[in-house]
Chain A
Amino acid sequence: MVYDFKSRRIMYGLTLFFIALSGFAQMPIFKRYYIADIPGLGWLAQFFVTHAIHYALAALLIGFCAYVALDYYFARKNSGTKKFQITEDTRISASAWVKIAALCGLIITGCFMVVKNLSGIYFSHGVVIGLDLLHLIFCMLLLGATAYTWVRTRSWIC
């Protein structure tokens, strides 16, 4: 069965692209490698701008994930009624489970990092480094899984 979720696919794709871009912009690489010199991309070298964009897109992504997860739950609960495309036979694909795990990891580590950045909050140095590395690992896992599903045209549900 082909599911028509074009609008949410576009929204998810754009959010993922810009949140990853603003996330990588937290590293001082775009100025070094002239990418921020490309007209229109100067903002990539402005750390406070990319930081705010990353937060705003994270809010969007978390809200979107909550919406899609709950929507899927309700759709399965009411499968069979004509308004819902999801049926009892609908399953989440294996590659989607990898992406879901990576997204959960990114959201959990990201939330801790947001708390860490608030004034008066102290995390131990080991925890901060661990969060930074885990966030990067989950990001690479999500991008890898996304690239795989894109090339192999795997869907989230099957």
Chain B
Amino acid sequence: MRSPISRRHFLKTSFFAAGTAIAGTSIAKAATSADADKEPLVTLIDISRCIGCEECVYACQDANAHKFPEPEKPFPKMYPDRVPVEDWSDRRDVTDRLTPYNWLYIQYASATTKEGENITLTIPRRCMHCQNPPCVKLCPWGAAKQEKNGLSRIDAQICLGGSKCKDVCPWDIPQRQTGTGLYLDLLPAFAGNGVMYKCDRCYQKIKKGEQPACIAACPENVQTIGKRSDIIKMAKDLAKEKDGYIYGLDENGGTNTIYVSPVPFDQLVFETGKGKPHMHPVKDTMADGSNLAIALAIAPIAGAAAAVGKYYRQMKEEA
């Protein structure tokens, strides 16, 4: 399904789009070179260009099929009973939400334009790859990792499937598959519950200097990848050009996925819930920890000052 607004704006924005595509290609080349170590890679998603063909969805599945779980059945009995079994291995063809076998899906949103026209937008949804990702930073086992190029991913060899990453993710992105992973070799009845899966931005392709599968497969050039400073400039220019709106620049302290929409994000109406992330404003979930880090730096100085103060007070009294 193609948004009418993208058709109407096609000619108007064709010059900009051509420029974007050319710039995107060169940026992608630069981004996969040594520069990627200096500045994170960011993807720009121009929602108005997406036609919802799901080419990106299937390209993602093909490129990452070798990473998908092959759970052992029957699953071990887990205690207590409240521990949920999450099994997607018999529903691998589900593409209308995020699952352990579907790391990218197309979200259908309805909206009304400024001109009063009702339109449907299609939005590729996956991990936002936060600049300071709580899924990575708060993983108690170090199973999730962030690379210098800004992508975050979960190591399926280490993850125990406790789902903390999903709980701390503002968009509940990671999805669990029971019956696979390290927990089976430890205490499967009492700790762990499988492995968490999410978009890893095709890290294996990035390493080889290639684009992520979803970007390379898109016939409409919806996504552009490049260095953060370049992509942010591009997103702002695009938003200005199309009188559009930006999502992801400040959300959760800033993400490495930037959406540009022709309609304000708070006016998009779409189904949210399990495996279907929202697009609400998100405060920086790691901000409290970063602020408290200052207290940690001051603490030893304060403690030492208190001891010195006590010492001089006692010496004065002694004298």
Contact = CB atoms under 8 A, between A and B. Distances in A.
Interface of A: 26-29, 32-34, 47-48, 51-52, 55-56, 58-60, 62-71, 74, 78, 81-84, 111, 114-120, 122, 125, 128-129, 131-132
Contacts, number: 133
Contacts of A69: 307
Overall SS of chain A's interface: helix
A68 B315 CA distance: 17
B195 to A, nearest CB: 14
A117 to B, nearest CB: 5
B303 interface: yes
B285 interface: yes
Contact of B307 (A59, A67, A82): A67
Given A56-B292, A56-B295, A82-B318, A118 B140 contact: no
A117 B139 CA distance: 11
Contacts of B186: none
A118 B299 contact: no
Contacts of B141: 129, 132
Nearest to B148: A122
Interface string B121-142: 0000000000110000110111
B168 A132 contact: no
A120 B299 contact: no
Interface string B76-93: 000010110000000000
Contacts of B167: 28, 47
A86 to B, nearest CB: 12
A62 B318 contact: no
B158 to A, nearest CB: 7
Interface centre among A59, A68, A78, by most chain B C-beta atoms within 10 angstroms, is A59
A48 B285 contact: yes
Nearest to B37: A122
A118 B290 contact: yes
Contact of A71 (B131, B132, B310): B310
A66 B142 contact: no
Contact of A78 (B137, B138, B298, B315): B315
B304 interface: yes
Interface string B281-293: 0000110111011
Given A56-B295, A71-B307, A117-B138, 18 more contacts: A27-B162, A28-B164, A51-B138, A55-B289, A55-B293, A60-B299, A65-B300, A65-B303, A66-B302, A67-B306, A78-B311, A81-B318, A117-B137, A117-B289, A119-B290, A125-B155, A128-B145, A131-B142
Contact of B296 (A47, A51, A58, A81): A58
